[in-house]
Amino acid sequence: MPGGGGAKLSLQMVTNVDERSVNNLSAIPKEEYLYKCTSACAGCSSSLCLRYVLKAAGPDTVLVVPACCTSVIQGIYPGTAMNVPVYNIAFAAAAACASGLSDALSARGKETNVIVYAGDGGTVDIGIQSLSGAFERGTNFLYICYDNEAYGNTGMQRSGSTPLGARTTTTPGGKRTAKKDLDRIVEAHNPPYMATACSAYPLDLYKKVKKALSIEGPKFIHILAPCPPGWRYPTEKTVEMGKLAVKTGTWILYEREFGKLSINGPSKAAMRKPAPLEDYINGQGRFKNLSPEIASEIRQQVERNIQRLSREEAGIC
């Protein structure tokens, strides 16, 4: 299988043979569609994810980006770090803009990938109406929400996706309500494909993007994207933070194909025996001085989520 055969050969395997056989980072195409000159913060995982998303999608792709960190990461006119067309659009409008674009391209006989790359705020809050509309209409596109659990662009205010207890600039005492369950909202639209991913597992992300793009209709990928300034951890710990989110069961990697759930790779083990939650929480300044009650509620939320997904996967309802 690919991997050992050198970049060129692997590349051919990636593009010509079985996309799912990519099981080694070196098999990911070397072409870059997001250049190194981005204006992302040091240790930014959402830009890392974008890099892998675009490698999976390839050059015949248009990215639709609402207001978010990714609008900044691209660079300032006339410079750009992007090597695919990017259509920047207003905060609430990404999924609707992608609807029009997807229909226009198909009317012109093109099979170009249309991918929305939106933050959590642009997805779970202001953009949820257009997201819901586009999914209900069966728009042929891939919607990716990279979730840094706050409004990064405007300086880390809370979003609906900020977890319980997390301090942001508008929840200085810690957020008092739970993270909105975006995935269950999207699931209610019965998309043919949806998945979660995490920046610390780029190969998993890469494969999911490939698979999503092979399916007709509205697809959704929700990526947990740790953010050093927002979560308040040292920049070099970005990968570690993502891994801890998965290993503690706080973030569960799965796919849902035509409704059928399958838990992926590292999450299988994590759900059987999660790492201590403290490993994840204690490394982040945003969770500093959590009250024991909130800490216990966070723990219960994680457990409930693990149980719910385990039972569903096992077919117990």
Partner 1 sequence: MLTIGTGNKAVAAAVKAAKPGVVAAYPITPQTEIVEQLAEYVTTGELESRYIPVESEHSAMAACIGASAGGVRTFTATSSHGLLYMHEMVHWAAGARLPIVMANVNRALGPGWNTWAEHTDAFSQRDTGWLQVFVGTVQEAYDATLMAFKIAEDERVLLPVMVNLDGFTLSHIMQSLETVEIGDFLPAYHLPHAIDTENPCVYGPMTGPADYFRFRWDIERSMRDAKGVIADVEREFAERFGRSYGPTEDYRCEDADVIVVAMGTLGKEAEVAVDRLRDEGIKAGSMRLRWFRPFPDLDLSGREVVVIDRDYSFGFGGVVAHSIRSKTGIVPYSVIAGLGGQEVTYNDIADFVRNRHPGEETWFGVSDHV
Ligand X SMILES: Cc1ncc(C[n+]2csc(CCOP(=O)(O)OP(=O)(O)O)c2C)c(N)n1
Q: Which residues bind Mg ion (CB under 5 A)?
A: 119-120, 148, 152
CA 144 from centroid of its chain's CA atoms = 6
Of 126 and 263, the one with the shorter C-beta distance to partner 1 is: 126
Of 103 and 181, the one with the shorter C-beta distance to ligand X is: 181
Q: Does 34 bind ligand SF4 (CB under 6 A)?
A: no
Q: Does 190 bind partner 1 (CB under 8 A)?
A: no
Rounded to a whole number of angstroms, the minimum distance from the CB of residue 222 to partner 1 is 21
Of 117 and 280, the one with the shorter C-beta distance to ligand SF4 is: 117
Q: Does 209 bind ligand X (CB under 6 A)?
A: no
Instruction: Give the burial class of 268: count Cβ atoms within 10 A of its Cβ; 0-12 exposed, 13-18 middle, 19 or more buried.
Output: middle
Distance CA 217, CA 71 (A): 26
Instruction: Give the burial class of 231: count Cβ atoms within 10 A of its Cβ; 0-12 exposed, 13-18 middle, 19 or more buried.
Output: buried
Q: Which residues of 66-100 are buried (b: 16+ CB within 10 A; e: fewer)?
A: bbbbbbbbbeeeeeebbebebeebebbbbbbbbbe
Find the largest Cα–Cα distance for the chain.
58
244 contact, one of ligand SF4, ligand X, Mg ion, none, CB 5-8 Å limit per kind: none
Of 112 and 168, the one with the shorter C-beta distance to ligand SF4 is: 168
The contact mask relative to ligand SF4 for 108-137 (x = CB under 6 A, - = no) is ------------------------------
Q: Does 213 bind partner 1 (CB under 8 A)?
A: no
Contact segment (CB under 8 A) with partner 1 among 55-63, 229-237, 266-274, 285-293 equals 55-63
C-alpha distances out from residue 199 to 202, 245, 307, Å: 6, 10, 24
Rounded to a whole number of angstroms, the minimum distance from the CB of residue 156 to ligand X is 8
Return the axis-axis angle of helices 238-247 and 265-272, rounded to nearest 10°.
50
**Do the beta carbons of residue 223 and residue 196 sit within 8 Å?**
yes
Rounded to a whole number of angstroms, the minimum distance from the CB of residue 137 to partner 1 is 7
**Do the beta carbons of residue 270 and residue 251 sit within 8 Å?**
no
Beta strands in 89-207 (DSSP E): 113-119, 141-147, 193-198
Distance CA 121, CA 161 (A): 7
Query: Which of 3, 29, 133, 266 lies at the binding interface for partner 1 (CB under 8 A)?
Result: 133
Q: Does 100 bind ligand SF4 (CB under 6 A)?
A: no
Query: Which of 18, 31, 32, 136 lies at the binding interface for partner 1 (CB under 8 A)?
Result: 136
**Do the beta carbons of residue 291 and residue 297 sit within 8 Å?**
no
154 contact, one of Mg ion, ligand SF4, ligand X, none, CB 5-8 Å limit per kind: ligand X
**Do the beta carbons of residue 114 and residue 105 sit within 8 Å?**
yes
Query: Which of 11, 53, 64, 209 lies at the binding interface for partner 1 (CB under 8 A)?
Result: 64
Q: Does 46 bind ligand SF4 (CB under 6 A)?
A: yes
Chain positions contacting ligand X, by CB under 6 A: 67-69, 91, 119-122, 148, 150-154, 159
Q: Which residues of the shown chain bind ligand SF4 in the complex (CB under 6 A)? A: 40-41, 44, 46, 69, 73, 148, 152, 227-230
Query: By the criterion CB under 8 A, which residues form the site for partner 1?
Result: 59-62, 64, 71-72, 74-78, 80, 82-90, 92-108, 112, 129-130, 132-133, 136-137
